Amino acid sequence: MRSINFNLTFLLLSLLFFLHCEKDDICITSIQESPDLVILLLNESEGTRQTPPGFTIRPIGTEKQLIQRTGDSLPLPLKLSESNTQFEFITNTGSPDENIDTLQINYQRKDQFINGACGYRANFILDKTAPIFLLNAGNNWIKGAVILKDTISDETTAHLGILY
């Protein structure tokens, strides 16, 4: 009886030691990071989604360039420390008809807990009344914007439609 008890206790003790091992906290890459704003360029007169000819976007306040992408939906990184980010939207880049519209995107940041290893993800909520401001007066090629999805929590669908 006594030796059985001893063995049982020893077994439980060693079991406890093994179970003490815990997995490391690693933020795996499949976890969605802080999303970018996905915009869609909408041609109002023709009713199509397409980028205008010679279209480029230049971020204001940095030397960095955005990665140029083809396609009608474009991801724009938003500033985390401020509640607005400004970009220059340019059509007919380089040609005599070049038209630069300075656009300010207004939003609120809301941080969402992922887990201890990854920390938080910044989500954004577009300003409902004025998602964009056009900062340059006159001769705007951009006509307006429509909110497609006001909460920016992933990059799977477009959030903001830019009408021109």
Partner 1 sequence: MKQLHIWGFCISVFLIQWDLSAQNTVSPTLANATIDSLEVKPKPPMSLRFGADLFRLVRSQYEDDYSGFEVVADFRISPNFYLATEFGNEVLTKQSEQVNFTTEGSYYKIGFDLNMFENWQGMDNQVILGLRLASSSHNQFLNAYTLLDRTPFWQNPEDQITSGFATGARSDLNALWFEVIAGFKVELISNIYLGLSLRLNRLLNDTVPENFENIHIPGFNKKTEDNNFSAGFNYSLSYRIPFRAQKN
Residue numbers at the binding site for partner 1 (CB under 8 A):
2, 5-6, 8-9, 12-13, 15-17, 19-20, 22-23, 25, 27, 29, 31, 33-34, 59, 62, 64, 66, 77-81, 85, 109-122
Q: Which is nearer to partner 1, 80 or 146 (CB)?
A: 80
Nearest distance, CB of residue 85 and partner 1, angstroms: 7
* Closest-CA residue to 77 (of 111, 39, 110, 51): 39
Q: Which is nearer to partner 1, 20 or 128 (CB)?
A: 20
Nearest distance, CB of residue 62 and partner 1, angstroms: 7
Nearest distance, CB of residue 131 and partner 1, angstroms: 19
Nearest distance, CB of residue 9 and partner 1, angstroms: 5
Nearest distance, CB of residue 29 and partner 1, angstroms: 8
Q: Which is nearer to partner 1, 114 or 163 (CB)?
A: 114
**Contacts for 5 with CB less than 8 Å, ≥ 6 apart:** none
d(CA 133, CA 31): 33
Is there a contact between 37 and 76 (Cβ–Cβ < 8 Å)?
Answer: yes
Q: Which is nearer to partner 1, 34 or 43 (CB)?
A: 34
Q: Which is nearer to partner 1, 70 or 81 (CB)?
A: 81
